[in-house]
Amino acid sequence: MLCEVEIKPAENQIDREGARILKECQVLGTSSIRSVQAAHSYLLEGDLDQADLEKIARTLLSDPIVETFEIRMLSSNSSDATETEPLLNVLFKPGVTDNVANSARQAICDLGLSIENVATCRKYWVNSDASSEEMDRMAAKVLSNEAIEHVVRGPLSMDTIKLGSEYTFELVTIPIRSMNDQQLETLSREGQLYLNLTEMRTIKNYYVGQEKDPTDIELESIAQTWSEHCSHKTLAGRIHYRDEERDLHFENMLKETIFAATTEIRKSLGEKDWCVSVFADNAGVITFDDKQDVCFKVETHNHPSALEPYGGANTGLGGVIRDPLGTGLGGKPVCNTDVFCFAPPEISYDELPTGVLHPKAVATGVVSGVRDYGNRMGIPTVNGAVYFDERYLGNPLVYCGNVAMLPVGKSAKQQVQPGHYIVAVGGRTGRDGIHGATFSSAELTSESEMLSGGAVQIGNAITEKMTLDVILEARDKGLFSAITDCGAGGFSSAVGEMGEKTGAEVWLDKCPLKYAGLSYTEIWISEAQERMVLAVPPENWKEFESICAGEGVEASVIGKFTDTSHLVLKYQDQVVGDLEMSFLHDGRPPVIREAVYKTPSFIPLIPPQNENHTKDLLAILSSLNVCSKEWIIRQYDQEVQAGSVVKPLVGIQNDGPSDAAVVRPDLTSTRGLVISCGMNPRYGDLSTHWMAASAIDEAIRNCVAVGADPAKIAILDNFCWGNTDRPETLGSLVAAALACQEFSIAFGSPFISGKDSLYNEFSYENEHGEKETVAIPASLLISAIGQIADV
């Protein structure tokens, strides 16, 4: 039996959601829409009688003071369901996580009632003379996001909630040995592998030598491991760089610039070296005091946020929190950071290319996503920035960072041992996040939403908070030897990395699923959120399982580490994948690139001859890159954990941005952390070398301005660039990396971690049918972490 509990504002209450939608429609230019009434509903499937439904609706789903509810039975034979009804229902697409529905289902079970499935729906009654085309435009631009939602006109006509059908096992083999170059490129593109022809040829030659063809799961594993997102193959590749003064050859550009700077600084410090772990784990680790170390990581979640801003930013912060949690033997998060780059919000809908969300929707969704995850995790968001430029229209940038504390001695993982269990902890696996790694390694197009919608995830901060508590307790009891998060490749990246030196055997049918119907390959590569992978000695498993059960966190043994140097994947006792670890991690052919950098011609600025500068001053103060961002900052909880010292907003009225944040991570100590950032993409239009220098300078100056010791400031780099297949684009990046090396050494501030996000471009067809590409400006974020002996 399927019923709907519809909830509306009471008669004496304002319909704020309806008013918001009406205003958005007016901005869209749909003037024929006179009014909008909004409601939300829950679809309940199970053996529930009327009394049960009344109890659920009244005690769980509605607030009787400000809301009213109505219960109705649903059927697939609704005769009054027509496409001309002014009612529009917005539902999640199958496979998309519905956190509200999951919470409602758990609450109903806690009432002692039996329920099979729950789903949520948003409902809108539209009073208008709009045509069918206008209604479709309203539904797509205002009411829903086509990447994760679909719209149903008229009363719902359904008798079941379809979460997934049973999967029928079928082993898929790819005949790669018989493919020519064109077929290899087609396979890479259409299979969303996003590997180049040289890499595809390498895979083909490997399997020719193996005298077999790969299974689909083997090919997906290789693509994930070799992706730009996971291997950083461009920045760590061979590059021939030329500019007006230099002709350089790099065997590993990152190692010979940014890494080299850190190595030189650490060598100069000698026994006073305060770096603990750099460029070796999920986050960089430095010393804090004699009891604790501190780690810091900043990530980007750009492509997913372009498709679904709320989910992309939400899981972007959730993902970067899991990086310090997966560093060493697990860090306790103490604060978050965020930096956003958007297109100007005043752009009209008519100017938007096909497949691009409006900047206002992007900004609102991104801010809400970061707010909800950080606040619900109980982690203060203390530092950040917002930057606007029209070139971010198709590719907004979402940087998220997390700082965490580690007990001294817990900052390094142990080597996993053969026989240790592979344990999955936290959330279940679904189709959300599939091809996250390979999707992030390609440029966006007007079709990305349709082709890569599965790369979008929806996070659940409460699940991650519970998982965090379990891991910290198990860490302190010494119950596991290694830990990492399920990154952009899901189990593929986590298990593949942990078992690189030993080998691993994974039992995919043992992985907990959100719903039925996932293939063995989908289980392996899904980036479903809130999952960690641990190496647990068999003798510790029962105690570890007991801790998880006590906190309501799911933990499952999904395999074991071996001594075979192979990655063996099984489904229902049948081998579906068998890869040599050496080929998986070391078989990728080196990237060899040409890079050319020519500093743009200098055009001297001639200030206008204007004796009255009041108008100019007002224009500057009201510009998007200068005006107040208080509306964003106030949405974040900065006081949770009670460690804030210098807050994000300061001044007499507490409404001006601070230079940096100061946090006391340990309330029994007076020692403090200083968090700051520096960024100036506009400078990169003149010189990416000096842009990088100014970003480092700004981040360090901001730290020192609030009292940080300049002799102990560490920095992080996050490069967001366009298509580095072009020599001039790659050249501008190398110029910035060389500046990072130079000024890191000059300031004595080592880089301890970093990340790159390339191919941040959007391609579409204009009104003339011609292809146009919009690349983001060269964008380098420098984050800094300093310390104060006594706050």
**Which residues are CB-neighbours of 547 under 8 A, at least 6 positions away?**
470, 473, 474, 477, 479
Give the pairing of strands 761-765 and 751-757.
unpaired
pLDDT of residue 30: 75
CATH hierarchy code of domain 2-153: 3.30.1280.10
Is a pLDDT exceeding 60 seen at residue 447? no
Closest among 289, 314, 282 to 301, alpha carbons compared: 314
Closest among 333, 249, 261 to 297, alpha carbons compared: 333
pLDDT of residue 440: 46
Q: In which band, very low, low, confident or very high, does the pLDDT at 445 lie, cut at 50, 70 and 90? A: low
Is a pLDDT exceeding 70 seen at residue 435? no
As a whole-number percent, the residues of the chain with pLDDT over 90 amount to: 78
Is a pLDDT exceeding 60 seen at residue 747? yes
Mind giving me the DSSP string for 53-97? HHHHIIIII--TTTEEEEEEE--TT-TT--TTSSEEEEEEPTTS-
pLDDT of residue 84: 45
| CA pair distance 322, 631, nearest whole angstrom | 27
pLDDT of residue 564: 98
Active site residue ranges:
229, 301
pLDDT of residue 172: 96
**470: which strand partners?**
none
Is a pLDDT exceeding 80 seen at residue 460? yes
| CA pair distance 543, 575, nearest whole angstrom | 31
Which whole-number Å values give the CA distances from 445 to 77, 363, 448, 561, 777, in the listed order? 40, 20, 5, 40, 17
Which whole-number Å values give the CA distances from 266 to 274, 278, 281, 670, 675, in the listed order? 8, 11, 18, 27, 21
Report the SS3 class of residue 284.
strand
pLDDT of residue 47: 92
Instruction: Assess contact for 312 and 384: CB atoms under 8 A.
Output: no
User: Tens digits of per-residue pLDDT, 347-404?
Assistant: 988 888 988 999 999 999 999 999 999 999 999 999 999 999 999 999 999 999 999 9
SS (H, E, C) 483-520: EEECCCCCHHHHHHHHCCCCCEEEEHHHCCECCCCCCH
| CA pair distance 686, 29, nearest whole angstrom | 39
pLDDT of residue 450: 42
pLDDT of residue 7: 97
Closest among 709, 719, 690, 707 to 783, alpha carbons compared: 719
Length of the chain measured in residues: 791
User: Tens digits of per-residue pLDDT, 478-523?
Assistant: 999 999 998 778 999 999 999 999 999 999 999 999 888 899 999 9
Q: In which band, very low, low, confident or very high, does the pLDDT at 17 lie, cut at 50, 70 and 90? A: very high
Is a pLDDT exceeding 60 seen at residue 446? no
Ranges assigned E (strand) in 573-637: 574-580, 592-596
Instruction: Assess contact for 129 and 185: CB atoms under 8 A.
Output: no
Is a pLDDT exceeding 60 seen at residue 787? yes
Q: In what order do the strands lie in the sheet with 381-388?
A: 275-277, 284-287, 292-300, 397-407, 332-342, 381-388
Is a pLDDT exceeding 60 seen at residue 78? no
SS (H, E, C) 23-53: HHHHHHCCCCEEEEEEEEEEEEECCCCHHHH
| CA pair distance 290, 14, nearest whole angstrom | 57
| CA pair distance 387, 339, nearest whole angstrom | 8
User: Tens digits of per-residue pLDDT, 196-212?
Assistant: 999 999 999 999 999 99
Closest among 467, 455, 625, 573 to 525, alpha carbons compared: 455
User: Tens digits of per-residue pLDDT, 94-116?
Assistant: 878 888 999 999 999 999 999 99
* pLDDT, averaged across the chain: 92
pLDDT of residue 465: 96
Is a pLDDT exceeding 60 seen at residue 448? no
Instruction: Assess contact for 452 and 435: CB atoms under 8 A.
Output: yes
Rg of the chain's alpha carbons, rounded to an integer? 27
pLDDT of residue 456: 62
pLDDT of residue 444: 55
Instruction: Assess contact for 486 and 530: CB atoms under 8 A.
Output: no
| CA pair distance 366, 381, nearest whole angstrom | 14
pLDDT, greater one: 698 or 606: 698
pLDDT of residue 85: 52
Q: Among 438-447, 640-649, 746-755, which is the least confidently predicted range?
A: 438-447
Overall pTM > 0.75: yes
Is a pLDDT exceeding 70 seen at residue 251? yes
| CA pair distance 256, 541, nearest whole angstrom | 43
Mean pLDDT in residue range 4-19: 95
pLDDT, greater one: 371 or 75: 371
